[in-house]
Chains A and B, each alone.
Chain A
């Protein structure tokens, strides 16, 4: 990648909706952001903010009755060509070579994302064979290598074990090994440590950082844990009800949050280095049901700085405020 300043992945005005009998759920409602090569982008938000559906849209694995309604997802491939993933056939040849090839995916649930009736090796070798013209023997050798690179002890033996024989931490490592077996340039990690204990979480985050350093791949880290984002990300996108409310560098987001939602979220988390038993700042109410989306700014019913007559009727757009920062809030327009 010589002097390539183009983003590796550029998402523009993405809308993904689920068309159900009860109504339409706008899971992602106009999200835009870029992932830079070799950098970590943290996507933060609470349940229902559309962060996982965004990842599914990028990989074109949105389950029915959901589909991408609008938008562009432009991926810059290794040869410099650009391709809009939205225009590709979801199960076509090109998309299949990108999914798992250019873009790897690590899911939240290491328990359920492996098949219980196939060995870890079979699933790993399958991924290698799918994306590379190599013999089975070579694929197995690469599989063992992949398991070794993620720090699984005795990979020659572990490769023939089933996922239920591995502990949670080892299973997540194996998951990462599958995702990395084809040298992706972008790794999408959807809540990769949420199901793990803190000490195991620390091991996995450390591993992701090490692998990123070695391979120069970009990571899109999706999480609700602000601590994990602060620890890992270079840039951060904050989402609420399917929309990007704020984006900026990790330092800006944590030390100079602009959007009232980001500010409230940061204040409401108990921190391990805070004084015990102080009353926490809270965000009033709870996340609205998707069928019951507020008009105007989706956050206005819970927002302390809401402007009557404006926030409840107009939808704020994501606008640049200073260096590399964008906020979608009328307070800054």
Chain B
């Protein structure tokens, strides 16, 4: 297995800088804002052309909000989302609405639930052809040809294009969702938990398909997921989020083998391994994920961190690069030696 990331000379496709999304908490008759839910709080990362960046974290950490801000499904409170478009760099976060449609052609999404993300009253031809229609691509015949090509690409038979989604299984529906996302030849594909609703035996088919399509079409993926085994399987680089912030980002293999943030360590340790001989001592985190409306002082993770010191309660750590491509936001990142999971070659 060659390290795909070794060829890191590739150019940056998506550059997210200081992204923030605060939701107001309104109370009372006059709906006065009494607080803010800091769902995404100063998130910075980049995605290079042709690579897969996974954003992982537990529910409520802001990973989906981050993805939605990048697509401008919601407008960020602050920060930049820079997308390279034929040499031109556009800020998705602030670009006027009139330009948004052409920009969205570059960014497509694969959804989590293949049962609710396909309209039951539309045929496959309508579903996969809709993005083409919306963006005024080709005439009816060309669009039909394109739909057939896309269905073939994702491993479905083009003859099925007049059928409705109910005739297909979960895995096949997810293939339809992928065909729809790829119909416009997007530069960036945002996949929000694309396999978490699927059965184990079908999950592998979809993961293989995503990897294969990436190789063939040179796609760039932003993958949002909570299943670390899946993330390790598909990613070149991984960003770990905790309560609205990125706590660590590194090439996948490095992050899993030698995590530098205590939260990453605990997260890796918590994943049950499918081997009864590896019932190791797990790190059981105490307490619960902090409330993004009422975040702890200093480092958000300090109340649950077994390595916490006085400074962690007082000062918020910043994301710093401690090795090439490996950034950590922890005061003690360089002094701690944390446990990862080894890659067995078996």
Inter-subunit contact B201/A283 (CB<8 Å): yes
> How far, in angstroms, from A275 to B345 measured CA to CA in the complex?
7
Given A169-B288, A251-B277: A198 touches B229 (CB 8 Å cut-off): no
Query: Digit string of B284-325 for contact with A (CB within 8 Å is 1, else 0)?
Result: 110011000000000000000000000000000000000000
* Per-residue contact bits, chain A 198-228, to B (CB 8 Å; 1 contact, 0 not): 1111110110000000000000000011111
8 further interface pairs, Cβ-Cβ under 8 Å (given A197-B226, A270-B233)? A170-B288, A230-B276, A265-B201, A270-B232, A277-B1, A279-B208, A280-B204, A280-B207
A18 interface residue (CB < 8 Å to B): no
In the A-B complex, list the 6 residue pairs whose CB atoms are closest, starting with the nearest: A227-B272, A270-B233, A197-B58, A268-B204, A202-B270, A280-B204
Inter-chain contact B275/A230, CB cutoff 8 Å:
yes
Which residues on the B side are within 8 Å of A272 (C-beta)?
228-229, 232, 256, 268, 271, 273, 341
Residues of A within 8 A of B234 (CB): 276-277
Q: Does A273 contact B (CB under 8 A)?
A: yes
Comparing B94-102, B117-125, B167-175, B182-190, the segment that makes contact with chain A is B167-175
Residue-wise interface mask of B (315-346) relative to A, using a CB-CB cutoff of 8 A (1 in contact, 0 not): 00000000000000000000000000111110
- Chain B window 203-216, contacts with chain A (Cβ cutoff 8 Å), 1 for yes, 0 for no: 11101100100000
Q: Mark B151-192, 1 if CB is under 8 A from A, else 0.
A: 000000000000000000111100000000000000000000
Query: Cβ of A231 < 8 Å from any Cβ of B?
Result: yes
Tell me the minimal C-beta distance from B84 to chain A in angstroms: 24
Residue numbers in B under 8 Å from A331 (CB-CB): none
Taken together as a complex, chains A and B put the C-alpha atoms of A54 and B140 apart, in Å, by 51
Q: Can you list 26 A-B pairs, Cβ within 8 angstroms, ordered by A?
A: A197-B289, A199-B58, A199-B267, A202-B283, A202-B285, A203-B285, A227-B271, A231-B272, A231-B279, A233-B276, A251-B276, A254-B275, A255-B276, A265-B201, A268-B200, A268-B204, A269-B203, A273-B343, A274-B344, A275-B343, A276-B232, A278-B1, A280-B233, A281-B204, A282-B208, A286-B169
B235 is an interface residue with CB less than 8 A from chain A:
yes
A277 contact set on B, CB distance < 8 A: 1, 4, 211, 233-234
Chain B interface residues (CB < 8 Å from chain A): 1, 4, 58-59, 169-172, 199-205, 207-208, 211, 226, 228-230, 232-235, 252-253, 256, 266-279, 282-285, 288-289, 341-345
| Residue among B171, B235, B271 making CB contact with A286, cutoff 8 Å | B171
B58 — nearest CB in chain A belongs to which residue?
Answer: A197
- The docked-state distance in angstroms from the alpha carbon of A203 to that of B201 is 27
Point out the residues of chain B lying under 8 angstroms from A2, CB to CB.
Answer: none
Q: How distant is B139 from chain A, measured CB to nearest CB, in Å?
A: 35
User: B282 touching A202 by the CB < 8 A rule?
Assistant: yes
Interface positions, chain A 143-200, Cβ under 8 Å from B, are: 167-170, 197-200
B273 & A269 in contact (Cβ 8 Å cutoff): no
Q: Tell me whether B274 and A287 are in contact (CB under 8 A).
A: no
Closest to A169 in B: B288
| Chain B residue with Cβ nearest A223 | B272
Is A20's beta carbon under 8 Å from chain B?
no
- B169 contact set on A, CB distance < 8 A: 286-287
Q: Are A205 and B272 in contact (CB under 8 A)?
A: yes
User: Which residue of chain B has its CB nearest to the CB of A153?
Assistant: B287
> Whole-angstrom distance between the alpha carbons of A331 and B59 in the complex?
44
- Contact residue among A170, A202, A233, A251 (Cβ-Cβ distance under 8 Å from B284): A202
Residues of chain A having any CB pair with chain B under 8 Å? 46-47, 167-170, 197-203, 205-206, 224-231, 233, 250-251, 254-255, 264-266, 268-283, 286-287
User: Which residues from chain B contact A46 at a C-beta distance below 8 Å?
Assistant: 199-201
Residues of B within 8 A of A268 (CB): 200-201, 203-204
Closest residue of A by beta carbon distance from B207: A280
Residues in chain A near residue B282, CB distance under 8 A: 202, 206
Which residues of A lie under 8 Å from residue B345 when comparing CB positions? 275
- Indicate the member of A169, A227, A269, A273 with the most B CB atoms within 10 Å: A273
Whether A271 contacts B229 in the complex (CB less than 8 A), given A251-B277, A277-B234, comes out as: yes
* Residue of chain A at shortest CB distance from B266: A199
A205 to B272, CA, bound (A): 10
Residues of A within 8 A of B229 (CB): 227, 269-272, 274
**A273 and B285 within 8 A (CB):** no
B24 shortest CB reach to chain A, Å: 22
Query: How long is the Cα–Cα vector from A170 to B287 in the complex, in angstroms?
Result: 10
Q: How far is the CA of A201 from the CA of B266 in the complex (A)?
A: 12
A254 touches B274 (CB 8 A): yes
CA distance A231 to B284 in the complex (A): 14
A205 to B199, CA, bound (A): 22
Cβ-defined contact, A226 with B1, below 8 A: no
B199 x A287 contact (CB < 8 A): yes
Q: Knowing A199-B58, A277-B1, A283-B201, say if A227 contacts B273 (CB, 8 Å).
A: yes
The answer to whether A254 touches B276 (Cβ under 8 A) is yes
B271 touches A274 (CB 8 A): no
CB of B270 within 8 A of CB of A199, answer yes
Q: How far is the CB of B13 from chain A (nearest CB, A)?
A: 19
**Does B200 contact A265, Cβ atoms closer than 8 Å?**
yes
Q: In angstroms, how far is the closest chain B Cβ from the Cβ of A237?
A: 15
Q: Find chain A residues with CB under 8 A from B289 CB.
A: 197, 199
Instruction: Write out the residue numbers on chain B whose beta carbons fall within 8 Å of the beta carbon of A200.
Output: 58, 288
